[in-house]
Chain A
Amino acid sequence: MNTQVPGAQSSWQFRTPKQTLLRWVGWFWLVVLTVFCWQVMNENTIWAFVSDAPDQAADIGHRMFPPAWSYINNLWEPLWDTINIATLGTLLGILIAVPVAFLAATNTTPSTRFVRPLALLIIVASRSINSLIWALLLVAIIGPGLLAGIVAIGLRSIGFIAKLLYEAIEEIDDKQVEAVRATGASGAQVIDYAVVPQILPAFWGISVFRWDINIRESTILGLVGAGGLGIQLNASLSTLAWNQVAMIFIVILGTVVISEWVSAKVREAVL
């Protein structure tokens, strides 16, 4: 058992010395970067407010309890609005995302040089801007209300749905497309009979998943004036009515839990 290999190290090492050194250098720079960022970030931090935070937390907690249960009667309508923003916004997103996805997928796009980059640009622009920022812009442009919220949710959903959908389109089985094309089907018929049936489960899964995320996001869109529960939240926050805020949080939490359950059930049934 104790045969000594010539030139072998006396104890086993996980990595070669060079790898170890490189790793240490990498970690060192990461720590330096973090410390530097921490310093820059906290240049203007007032530490008195930070050390005061436990007292503030206790105070807010005290004021939140008990929640204003009767306030729920003011919340049914905003809740209905919130659900409508999420659902109609998701529908709007789907309507635009489906053609974009077909233009972005390499196997269905009419031109990989001109159309595909454009479709990918739409997807990236939509994905990198959060729905709250879209709402901020749209409230300034088309005025406060449900419409701004619906359009904001729709614009944000385009990127998400189109990205996942075009990846699903690129993964389809080519043989089925060939088979349908061999019957003499036109381009539209190939998409209808060969592509769509293959991506339909993915499509429903993605849509319901995005609807679930949109319910979450639409609860806060009202903070910038785009309708729904957020408007009530903003009103209660600005009057420092923390017991109403607590009630709104409970309603939001309940809605999110239910929508997550619904989306999980639907995805289970579809996929």
Chain B
Amino acid sequence: MALEPVAQSYPTRWKRPPVLLTHPLWRKIILLGGLVYLVLAIQTVEVDWQRVYLGLERGWRFVQGFLVPDFTSRWNDIYAGLMESLTMTVTSTVAGILISVPIGIGAARNLAPAPVYLACRGIITVSRSFQEVIIAILLVAMFGFGPFAGFLTLAFATIGFLSKLLAEEIEDCDRSQIEAIRATGASWWQVVNYAVQPQVMPRLVGLSLYRLDINFRESAVIGIVGAGGIGATLNTAIDRYEYDSAGAVLIIIIAIVLVVEYSSSYIRRWVQ
């Protein structure tokens, strides 16, 4: 370090330099733009305070319903919805995995020829670009109300998620292992089976369990648009202003999500 010329007076205060947006002019422009947007955006929110005030009483009843949930009076509905949700989750996850494994292999650049690669990537993009609820609306219109439409929705959404992550995992594989198996004269199938599969299997199991968790959460939502499951029960309970039953449904959803999350993280640790 070269010696600096001695300053005449040292600054007594230190100001932290900005980390992001170091250019002072851009900093001001972006801050000002953000502020203008915020003012405009808040103005579009029309709040009927009287309605909110009236609603507070309902909100309080909901909090009470959540604290003292009523599992018994609507238990048959809750049970039916829960069974639909759980069975839908399992079947759609299994079907989704079965379809997404070949698509995932096809979408890996190091295993698939270019036309297959492009076709599989296309399928993944289509599946990922629409939300579950929108797909559910379309499938309910085509297949009628009930868990079958929900099953198709979740399976379709699983394909986009799982194939994409599986393809990325295959592309990140250790090349030397593939080379080694190929050097023994193995066919394409044998390369997939002996070089790629052992490398990606732990990750595939982990991703599948994670998707199981997501599918259960989503199964609670797509019921609102008619695709069966616990969401339909919840929707009915709220429409009937039965907040204690709604509270019970929410508590069951949270509990199952917790159980699935903890057991899946346990299994993932055990597999990896």
Contact = CB atoms under 8 A, between A and B. Distances in A.
B207 interface: no
Contacts of B234: 133, 136
B156 interface: no
Contact of A60 (B55, B129, B138): B138
A50 B148 contact: yes
Most buried by A among B56, B221, B253, B257: B221
Contact of B217 (A130, A136, A141, A142): A130
A53 B143 contact: yes
Contacts of B231: 133
B51 A143 contact: yes
A41 B133 contact: no
A132 to B, nearest CB: 5
B42 A88 contact: yes
Contacts, number: 141
B220 A137 contact: no
Nearest to B48: A143
Interface residues of B, number: 58
A253 B128 CA distance: 11
Given A45-B146, A124-B254, A130 B218 contact: yes
B101 to A, nearest CB: 14
A49 interface: yes
A130 B141 CA distance: 23
A124 B220 CA distance: 16
A221 B165 CA distance: 28
B225 A41 contact: no
Contacts of A103: none
B258 A34 contact: no
A253 B46 CA distance: 27
A56 interface: yes
A22 interface: no
Nearest to A41: B87
Given A128-B253, A200-B20, A256-B129, A41 B151 contact: yes
18 contacts: A41-B88, A46-B144, A60-B141, A88-B41, A124-B254, A132-B224, A137-B246, A141-B58, A141-B59, A141-B62, A142-B59, A143-B48, A143-B52, A147-B47, A150-B45, A193-B16, A249-B134, A253-B130
Interface of A: 30, 33-34, 37-38, 40-42, 44-46, 49-50, 53, 56-57, 60, 80-81, 84, 87-88, 124-125, 127-130, 132-133, 136-137, 140-143, 145-147, 150, 193, 197, 200-201, 204, 216-217, 219-220, 223-224, 237, 249, 252-253, 256-257, 270
